[in-house]
Amino acid sequence: MNETQPALTSQERDELRRQGVLLTSLEELYNWGRSHSVWPLNFGLACCAIEMIAASMAKFDIARFGSEVFRPSPRQADLLIVSGTVTKKMAPHVVRLWNQMPEPKYCIAMGACAISGGPFKQGYNVLKGIDRFIPVDIYIPGCPPRPEALLHGLVQLQEKIRGQALTGPEAPRHLRSDDACDCPVPELGAHDIEPSHAPGVWSSPSLVRPDKG
Amino acid sequence: MDTVEHVRERLLARFPGAEVTVVPNGSPAGQHSLLISAAHALEIARYLRDEPGLAYDQCSNVTGIDWRDREVIDIVKDSQPGAPGGPPVVVERKVKRIEPGYLEVVYHLYSLARREGPVVLRLRTGNRSTAVSVPSLTPVWRSCEFQEREVFDLFGVVFTGHPDLRRILMWDGYQDHPMRKDYVEPDDYEWEPTPHGDVLTKAKRHYPAPTAPGMTNDE
Amino acid sequence: MFDANPAASPSARVRKVEPSSFGFQPSSVPPPAGGGGDLLEISLGPHHPSTHGVFRMNVVLDGETVVRLKPVFGYLHRNHEKLGEGTSYLGSMPYTDRLDYLNSMTNNWAYAIAVEKLAGLTVPERAEYVRVILAELTRLLNHTCLAGFLMQDCGCSGTPLMYAFRERERILDLFESLSGSRMMCNYQRFGGCRVDPTPAWLAAVAQLVDRYGPFLDEFEELLTGNEIIMARTQGVGRLPAALAVNAGVTGPMLRASGVGHDLRKVDGYGVYPRLNFRVPVGDHGDVYDRYMVRVLEMRESISLLRQALAALPGGPVLDPKAKQRGLRPKAGEAYGRIEGPKGEIGFYLVSDGTANPYRYRVRPPSFVNLTVLEDLCLGHTVADAVIILGSIDIVLGEVDR
């Protein structure tokens, strides 16, 4: 937790664990607890939602990872799994659900549509990726991703949570005062949603490749 | 099996003033259709449903088609006076004219009672901009209710007599009719992770110009 | 939306539920006279656990009773038809998987039939049998999942859906080993099927078919005679046959209302005329009948699968002369339809002689079936509206396209 050299190296700590002595930091304990009780929002958009349901059923059993508690209310959920195509008509609702979730919260973009619009990218009513409006932690490619892929994404998210520092500049949003938690909700305009992306959340990456310089 | 000619004869016998035209279908499916005038559409539809020998009690599918303006080249023959005393000379010239487009609504009717169908009805609007009204067939077949709303939403055909004509798929404040052929979609291709084909072309409009020699924004 | 004039009396704010212009009483249960108290307008969805996706219903309640209900669509409108106009005939095949994403095989088949009609293609006999096998497996999958979801909506949380998804996984394993993908099979082609099923695959299907009957017995023992489920579903959401026909309702929902209309019998597409099966028909048209019709249909599907597996001939599964890429049917149009698990799924294609369809239209069964949703829900409680919606069996990918 502090900048100084830790009193114990990780090898020494593992050795102590083998001897039955558990030494840990508050940060590690807190993140360990958080990472194994991620409650997803019971929120399905399209095809991927069926695979999300399949992941929560007997064969794949998401309960092994502590995430079987699908909450119907965003107020009780930690994880937004954007499972499917986000249409422009739906985008304000998704952002509003995200804003209604309490911190700490995480977002998984499940499937090609949630990442970039996927096969429906050329559609006039399809949002070209949910990361234009809300910050995404884990991207799971696939159309739809298999339930195993969702479980893998969940494990990746758990690793990310376990690695979060609770203080300092790398602290997560909910422990910082400078980072606004709310994302701007787009409006349904005459021809398109306005704005077409949230400027503070997403900006068009430069396609100039530095390695070609 | 009812043929379209047979249905057309029955319709003309019942409604002598109505315009009923057979629109032939060039595909092997051979599902020819009947173009009916808007003025008689509602009573023709009621007759098709209620007449026991026809009994088209189910309207399965309702959809729109946008036919754009077409450029047609006609060959006009003019006779001009030739050499004095001689015969007139016939001069051919090509005249371009624009055949105005229209919006078309297509109904697929089936008879559950007689296991017949489909009878394909077509209604056409006057043009694509100002005269876009056709009568709604929802009072005859309830199944048209949402499907006609969809045609209104996506094509902009106004159905007179529809009980609840609102947009259905797009939101209420939306102003375009995206299934029309000349619809231009919003340009939100600022960046694409794996662009190819048309998407790449659209995305490239947003790519920054190369900032230094040797830098490229291809791929 | 709703007329929100605050000066109007509550009864004036709500459309009078009178014998409608369609000639049908909207509901078998009369609405409350005069609208006794204050009316409550709620928006059920688009994010609601019971709406099977992103469906939304604007509901006006008098106490707990639904006095008006307007469905709102379009939250999953992914421009399927516009994309279909921009891609080749074969290019639309994977998109059809994503229409009704539980039943990709039947969507594929309906689209293949429409293109085959448009281009005048023939299908080898073996492929017709394989198509029947896949369509009936899909029907088993869909109806099992629907029963699970419907019971979930009834409040029977967990167990039936777990059972249903256990069986679904078995069928998906078969689909995956045949086509390479669990859900998005992209398997049918114009004039046949993409790959020939191996004997081992067919043996696996036979094994699944043999154990599906006992599974259904177990499932029905749990649900069909269950007192609570009967109390919850019988007499709820009655759909009169005349309204069902007029509103274009198709599939199990139409048959539950007593109309024995099944396109497998009526159109006799594929090799269905050669197979022996019965069409289950309900008496009351309520939620329970819709559930029962589907269970009985699954029993018939098992028999159909046995017959198709026994009669499967040899030969190719794809007409080698049928063009796939670069198919350019001559100008014309065709409407092809099949009996999907949810009802009549049809494709209407207009060709102008180029490689892309000029107009590509999907006739979505669950979208048209939703026409009667308000009529079914009026007079019932909002909890009943949820199971009525569940019994219609919608998939939003197909409703909104």
pLDDT tens digits for B92-132? 888 888 888 899 999 999 998 888 878 899 999 888 888 88
For residue C365, which phi and psi values (nearest 5 degrees)?
Answer: -65, -45
* Cα four-point dihedral sign C135, C136, C141, C142: positive
3-class secondary structure per residue, C254-323: HHHCCCCCCHHHHCCCCCHHHCCCCCCCCCCCCHHHHHHHHHHHHHHHHHHHHHHHHHCCCCCCECCCCC
Q: What is the pLDDT of residue C134?
A: 92
CB contact under 8 A, C359 and B61: no
Chains that touch A (3 or more CB pairs under 8 A): B, C
Q: What is the pLDDT of residue B54?
A: 85
CB contact under 8 A, B216 and A209: yes
Task: Give residue C84's identity as a one-letter amino acid code.
Answer: G
Contact B107, C212 (CB under 8 A): no
Q: What is the pLDDT of residue A3?
A: 52
pLDDT tens digits for C129-160? 999 999 999 999 999 999 888 888 888 877 88
Give how far A88 is from chain C: nearest CA, Å: 8
Angstrom distance (rounded) from CA A60 to CA C108: 28
Cα B15 vs. chain centroid, distance in angstroms?
Answer: 25
B197-200 long-range contacts (CB < 8 A, ≥24 apart) are: B198/A122, B198/C86, B199/A121, B199/A122
3-class secondary structure per residue, chain C: CCCCCCCCCHHHHCCCCCCCCCCCCCCCCCCCCCCCCCEEEEEECCCCCCCCCCCEEEEEEECCEEEEEEEECCCCCCCHHHHHHCCCCHHHHHHHHCCCCCCHHHHHHHHHHHHHHHHCCCCCHHHHHHHHHHHHHHHHHHHHHHHHHHHHHHCCCCHHHHHHHHHHHHHHHHHHHHHCCCCCCCCEECCEECCCCCHHHHHHHHHHHHHHHHHHHHHHHHHCCCHHHHHHHCCCCCCCHHHHHHCCCCCHHHHHCCCCCCHHHHCCCCCHHHCCCCCCCCCCCCHHHHHHHHHHHHHHHHHHHHHHHHHCCCCCCECCCCCCCCCCCCCEEEEEEEEECCEEEEEEEEECCCCCCCEEEEECHHHHHHHHHHHHHCCCEHHHHHHHHHHHCCCHHHHCC
Tokens of A136: 């995404």
Q: Does B125 touch chain C (CB under 8 A)?
A: no
Contact B157, B123 (CB under 8 A): no
Phi-psi region of B104 (alpha: psi -120 to 50; beta: other; left: phi over 0): beta
Contact B66, B155 (CB under 8 A): yes
Mean pLDDT score of chain B: 83
Q: Half-sphere exposure of residue B143, counting CA atoms within 13 Å on the CB side?
A: 29
Angstrom distance (rounded) from CA B183 to CA B128: 12
Residues composing chain C: 401
Contact B108, B34 (CB under 8 A): no
Q: Which residue of C has its CA nearest to A51?
A: C183
Compare CB distances from C246 to B141, B167, B168 and report the shortest one's residue.
B141
Select from A1, A36, A17 the least CA-distant residue to A164. A1
CB contact under 8 A, B58 and C334: no
Q: Does A55 touch chain C (CB under 8 A)?
A: no
Cβ neighbours for B127, distance < 8 A, ≥ 6 positions apart: B100, B101, B102
pLDDT at C81 over 80: yes
Q: Which of residues 33-92 of C touch A (CB under 8 A)?
A: 46-49, 53-54, 74-80, 82-83, 86
Please name the residue ranges forming H helices in chain B: 4-14, 41-50, 144-155, 197-204
Select from A103, A100, A90 the least CA-distant residue to A130. A90
Give how far A144 is from chain C: nearest CA, Å: 8
Angstrom distance (rounded) from CA C158 to CA C175: 25
Cα B101 vs. chain centroid, distance in angstroms?
Answer: 9
In chain B, CATH 3.30.460.80 sits at 4-67+103-184
Residues composing chain B: 219
Mean pLDDT score of chain A: 84
Select from B62, B60, B38, B64 the least CA-distant residue to B177. B64
Helix (H, G, I), strand (E, B) or coil at B66: strand
CB contact under 8 A, C351 and B25: no
Q: Which positions of chain B have pLDDT values less than 50?
A: 210-219
Least trusted range by pLDDT, from C44-48, C168-172, C306-310? C44-48
pLDDT tens digits for A107-153? 999 999 898 888 888 888 999 889 889 989 999 998 889 999 999 99
Task: Give kind and range of the element (H or E) at residue B157.
Answer: none
Contact C159, C324 (CB under 8 A): no
Give the confidence band of C21 by pLDDT, cuts at 50, 70, 90: very low
Q: How far is CA B123 from CA B23, C336, C362, in A?
A: 11, 21, 19
Beta strands A193-194; A187-188: pairing state = antiparallel
Cα C202 vs. chain centroid, distance in angstroms?
Answer: 26
Contact C260, C310 (CB under 8 A): no
Q: How far is CA C198 from CA B148, B167, C275, in A?
A: 46, 49, 22
Give how far B75 is from chain C: nearest CA, Å: 24
Task: Give kind and range of the element (H or E) at residue B121.
Answer: strand B116-124
Select from A51, A42, A192 the least CA-distant residue to C98. A51
Q: What is the pLDDT of residue C364?
A: 92
Q: What angle do CA B185, A99, A66 make, to 5 degrees?
A: 110
Other Cβ atoms within 10 Å of B93 Cβ, number: 9
Angstrom distance (rounded) from CA A82 to CA A45: 7
Q: Which of residues 52-111 of A touch B (CB under 8 A)?
A: 89
Tokens of C354: 């180029």
Among B35, B46, B61, most C C-beta atoms within 10 A, so best to mutate, is B61
Instruction: Name the maximum alpha-carbon separation found in chain B.
Output: 79
Tokens of C108: 């594929």
Task: Give residue C387's identity as a one-letter amino acid code.
Answer: I
Compare CB distances from B170 to A125, A197, A213 and report the shortest one's residue.
A125
* Cα four-point dihedral sign C161, C162, C167, C170: positive
Q: What is the pLDDT of residue C6?
A: 35
Contact A103, A174 (CB under 8 A): yes
pLDDT tens digits for C194-207? 899 999 999 999 99
Q: What is the pLDDT of residue A207?
A: 58
Provide Rg for chain C, Cα atoms. 22
Q: How far is CA B62 from CA B47, B122, C366, in A?
A: 18, 10, 14
Angstrom distance (rounded) from CA B185 to CA B183: 6
Chain B residues lying within 8 Å of C58, measured CB to CB = none
Mean pLDDT over C251-266 rounds to: 90
Give how far C220 is from chain B: nearest CA, Å: 32
Domain B4-67+103-184 bears CATH identifier 3.30.460.80: yes
Mean pLDDT over C115-120 rounds to: 90
pLDDT at C395 over 80: yes
Angstrom distance (rounded) from CA C71 to CA C51: 11
One pLDDT digit (tens) per residue for chain A, 213 residues? 455 566 778 888 888 888 888 877 788 888 888 888 899 998 888 888 889 989 988 889 888 988 888 888 888 998 999 998 999 999 999 999 998 888 888 999 999 989 888 888 888 899 988 988 998 999 999 888 999 999 999 999 999 988 888 877 777 777 776 666 678 888 888 888 888 888 878 877 665 555 554
Provide Rg for chain B, Cα atoms. 25
* Cα four-point dihedral sign A202, A206, A207, A211: negative
Q: Which residue of C has its CA nearest to A146?
A: C182
Angstrom distance (rounded) from CA C217 to CA C210: 12
